[in-house]
Amino acid sequence: MNGNIRLLTLMATVMLFAGCANSQHDALQKASTTTSANTSETETTSECPDFSGTYKVEGGKSRFYVEKTTSSTYLFTIETPYDPPITQSASVKRSNKEQSTFCTLDIDGFGTISPWEKGSIYHITFDSRDFEKVINTDYILKLKNLRPVQYGVDFGVYGLTKK
């Protein structure tokens, strides 16, 4: 339980430094087209980018480090200015959606990192309202959405710059 509270606190810190806390529309939920029931997610090393490297939250001070341990597993470490580093295991997931491969790095208990087409619009639906957010980075971080709004902090999607 202590680990979950620490992880939640760290997630809030990341959002504060990204300038994304306490905004109702940042409780994001991607509006997506319905995919077929036979869409499968499998671990893979082919057709997916190498996620290892250093990432920075767009407009924030938090840094993420991703280190490859095997062909499809990684270690994810997050550092913020005020908290000790946290390391989580992560694995590559691939899904075939609409005839193209979509890869994500699933970080245990934290969220996902995905490639993104720079300048594309992320469609957001919250409280029966639609919002749009332009993300100007090549990767996005989507925090695990345990609850849409918890303790006055909104969870969402943020641009990541890979260095």
Residue 43: per-residue pLDDT: 40
What domain range includes position 112?
2-162
Q: What is the pLDDT of residue 83?
A: 84
Residue 137: name the closest of 75, 55, 19 by CA: 55
| Number of domains, the chain | 1
Enter the pTM of the model: 0.66
Predicted confidence band at 37 (pLDDT cuts at 50, 70, 90)?
Answer: very low
Return the pLDDT at 60. 80
pLDDT in tens, 94-113: 877 655 568 899 999 889 99
Q: How far apart are CA 142 and CA 32, in angstroms?
A: 14
In angstroms, how far is the first alpha carbon of the chain from the final one? 33
pLDDT: which is higher, 96 or 15 = 96
Diameter of the chain by CA atoms? 44
pLDDT of residue 51: 94
pLDDT, the chain, mean: 71
Q: Are 76 and 141 in contact (CB under 8 A)?
A: no
Collapsing DSSP states into helix, strand and coil, what is residue 26?
Answer: helix
Share of the chain above pLDDT 90, in %: 26
Dist. CA 149–CA 131, nearest whole Å = 17
Residue 34 has a pLDDT of: 27
